[in-house]
Structure 1
Amino acid sequence: MAAHNLVVKDLHELYTILGLPLDAVDVSSGFTIHFLQQTFTELPFTSVPYRPDYFSFLFIREAYGRYAIDDQCFDVKPGTVYFTNPGNYRVFEWHSIKDACLITFNEAYLKENVHQDVYRDFSFLLTETVLPRVLSEQQFEMLRQLYQQIHTEYLGQSPYRNKIIGSLMVVLLLKIKEYFFQDYNPIYEGNRSSQIVKTFRRDLEQHFRDLVAGKAEMPLRVQDYADMQSLHVNYLSSVISSKTGRSISAWIADKTVAEARVMLRKPGISIKEIAGRLGFLEASHFSNYFKKHTSVSPAEYRKQHAS
């Protein structure tokens, strides 16, 4: 696999590839938080180029290095906050780390523990490249208190751990929105290719919202997404693949599985009903599809996450 096309599904997989300690990155819930000074003990360190399939926030209280995303490169310095979302090519290097916190999470975690319609209030999650921000001491301290509280809950044994973390994440996202994005609209930011990617992701999110709510009956095809932007299907496919490292079909599959996971954790919805909401004509077809992409059947997944 070409370096620029190395897609990692979660932080555990990335750290495995990089040969880093895995103790702090339990990804079973789709969420991780840890302090990088406990992981990167031998510096300097440079990562391989990769494309993450997850969101991340990086809070730099005291650390130095470099960070590249697509064709842009930034200095890492104290008081900086970074946000990145799935799909972009990136590489990082660390020169020194005294205090830096990394939070990662996937879409299923957001939708289950933050809000089903999370992109409505936090549209910046759909953006392609967000410039890092150096915050005032007061602003950074506010975020530090939040992520430290999240970290405490993450290490705890509360039966409501994910719900508590989800509620704290709402506060964190609101503060990020206040400091970064009060007037931000991701659809109108960036060049033409960036706009195509953002519009596709917006259309994908809206369509699956309609499917789950029963407002649409069948999943859209790649051709349908191209028609929505008045683009040739080959051109849309080329832009999405080159800008994100993943095909449109892969985006649709991941979205289908993410929505399925959320619904499977709700005991009041039958597997047959979930299949119907996601546009599958037969529950057996949905079960085969889900197992192909997750290695477990819907019934097995529901049993694993019954609590």
Structure 2
Amino acid sequence: MKETEKKPVFNSLLTQYLHFGLPVDQIDEKTDFTIHNLQDIHLDLPFKSPVYRANFFSFVFVKEAYGKYTTDDLIFNTIPGTIYFTNPGHYKSHEWEQLSEVCLITLSESFLKENVHPDVFEEFPFLLAETVLPRVLSPESFSEFEQLYLQIRKEYFGSSPYRNRMIGNLFVVLLLKIKEYFWKDYNPIYEGNRSSQIVKSFKQTLEKHYRDLSTGKVIQAFRVQEYADAQNLHPNYLSNVVKSKTGKAIGTWIAEKTIAEAKSLLQHSAISIKEMAFLLGFSEYAHFSNYFKKHTGLSPVSYRKEQHRV
């Protein structure tokens, strides 16, 4: 891709909105979760965003609006009753012709694992799918989701010290409803070309390996070579495919997974940080501590204390 063709990459909705010059007063900078009504953001219609990459999950509930969105090379219409979600790493864009009532929820993988469930992708595998088609529900069915996201919105803008926990539990119900309505017998409905298959397999291997690390089933973190061996690929080829399809280097995927698992262990387990460092593939505690602080701004000890205050 030529330099002039590079698309902006956003790690949070806040950075995305700031880049697009959109209002950010409804976004809490202290959490990797957002929920708000798009009609409060897009005051001038029609609105069409440029193409960008978002490294977070988005869930969109269209009660009354018309437009369309793209994911990589796929284009979908949005009409009243539409529900869809997109996961990290894809080229995206969206546009709105009419916009009366639409709810947008965004969240990071870390938020999912810390506040929903450490093994969230095992129970909800559709979250790792390359692309999942949107669904259009009847008003009666849509209202079930509306009740849930309105309750989540109430807690998000509340001041309870248990806010994130309550949001996490409500989001579990929301995911179960999605699973019940759309993906009871889940099969990937878009596998794409060979590159998409490679990326999908890499994501699944990454998730399983770090789950095995955190439970002690394996004792050494994979390098790029091991991820390539799992698909009988050259490591350089795997790296090129992952980078071209997702916009993130394979090392970045591994680093983000390491931090997400570390945060989950710090919050949900009582094991020592030294033992945790070993589980996550670090030979020395100091290396793990420096690595964690580099990516989060906090030491593992400080992060654990902060999480256990509530």
Asked if these proteins are the same fold (TM beyond 0.5), I'd say yes
Residue number in structure 2 paired with 1:198: 200
* Structure 1 residue matching 2:165: 3-state secondary structure: helix
Q: Which amino acid aligns with 2:205?
A: D
Q: Structure 2: how far apart are the matches of 1:86 and 1:216?
A: 27
For 1:25-64, what aligned pairs fall within 5 Å after superposition? Answer: 25-64=27-66
Q: Structure 2: how far apart are the matches of 1:290 and 1:105?
A: 20
Select which of 252, 255, 262 maps to 1:253.
255
Displacement of 1:70: 0.4
Q: Which amino acid aligns with 2:94?
A: F
- Report if the CA contact (8 A) 1:241-1:248 is conserved: yes
Displacement of 1:289: 1.3
- Report if the CA contact (8 A) 2:12-2:55 is conserved: yes
Select which of 135, 149, 152 maps to 2:154.
152
Residue number in structure 2 paired with 1:244: 246
Moved more, 41-50 or 274-283: 41-50
Q: Does 1:117 align with 2:119?
A: yes
- Report if the CA contact (8 A) 2:130-2:190 is conserved: no
Q: Structure 1: how far apart are the matches of 2:300 and 2:278?
A: 14
Q: Which amino acid aligns with 2:58?
A: S
Against the structure 1 CA distance between its residues 187 and 143, is the aligned structure 2 distance closer, same or farther, given a 3 Å change threshold? closer
- Report if the CA contact (8 A) 1:4-1:89 is conserved: no
Displacement of 1:211: 0.6
Residue number in structure 2 paired with 1:78: 80
Against the structure 1 CA distance between its residues 196 and 145, is the aligned structure 2 distance closer, same or farther, given a 3 Å change threshold? same
Moved more, 260-269 or 86-95: 260-269
Select which of 91, 94, 108 maps to 1:92.
94
Aligned Cα root-mean-square deviation (Å): 1.8
Q: 1:184-224 CA deviation, whole Å, 9 max, x = no partner?
A: 13498433222211111110000000111111111101111
Moved more, 229-238 or 211-220: 229-238
Residue number in structure 1 paired with 2:270: 268
Q: Structure 1: how far apart are the matches of 2:57 and 2:230?
A: 26
Q: Structure 2: how far apart are the matches of 1:23 and 1:98?
A: 20
TM-score (norm 2): 0.93
Q: Structure 2: how far apart are the matches of 1:214 and 1:267?
A: 13
Q: 1:92-130 CA deviation, whole Å, 9 max, x = no partner?
A: 122221100001111111112111111111000000111
Against the structure 1 CA distance between its residues 187 and 193, is the aligned structure 2 distance closer, same or farther, given a 3 Å change threshold? farther
Moved more, 256-265 or 202-211: 256-265
Q: 1:137-169 CA deviation, whole Å, 9 max, x = no partner?
A: 221111111111111111112222222211111
Q: Structure 2: how far apart are the matches of 1:188 and 1:86?
A: 16
Against the structure 1 CA distance between its residues 137 and 146, is the aligned structure 2 distance closer, same or farther, given a 3 Å change threshold? same
Q: Structure 1: how far apart are the matches of 2:6 and 2:70?
A: 12
Q: 1:252-287 CA deviation, whole Å, 9 max, x = no partner?
A: 001011111222334733322221121101111012
Residue number in structure 1 paired with 2:216: 214
Select which of 219, 226, 229 maps to 1:227.
229
Q: Which amino acid aligns with 1:301?
A: Y
Against the structure 1 CA distance between its residues 3 and 23, is the aligned structure 2 distance closer, same or farther, given a 3 Å change threshold? farther
Select which of 281, 284, 299 maps to 1:279.
281
Q: Which amino acid aligns with 1:31?
A: F
Select which of 60, 67, 70 maps to 2:69.
67
Structure 2 gaps, min length 5: none
**Count of residue pairs the alignment pairs up:** 307
- Report if the CA contact (8 A) 1:3-1:50 is conserved: no
Q: Which amino acid aligns with 1:195?
A: Q
Against the structure 1 CA distance between its residues 220 and 188, is the aligned structure 2 distance closer, same or farther, given a 3 Å change threshold? farther
Q: Structure 2: how far apart are the matches of 1:141 and 1:165?
A: 19
- Report if the CA contact (8 A) 2:67-2:98 is conserved: yes
* Structure 2 residue matching 1:218: 3-state secondary structure: coil
Against the structure 1 CA distance between its residues 259 and 135, is the aligned structure 2 distance closer, same or farther, given a 3 Å change threshold? same
* Structure 2 residue matching 1:56: 3-state secondary structure: strand
Q: Structure 1: how far apart are the matches of 2:128 and 2:224?
A: 19
Structure 1 gaps, min length 5: none
Against the structure 1 CA distance between its residues 8 and 282, is the aligned structure 2 distance closer, same or farther, given a 3 Å change threshold? same
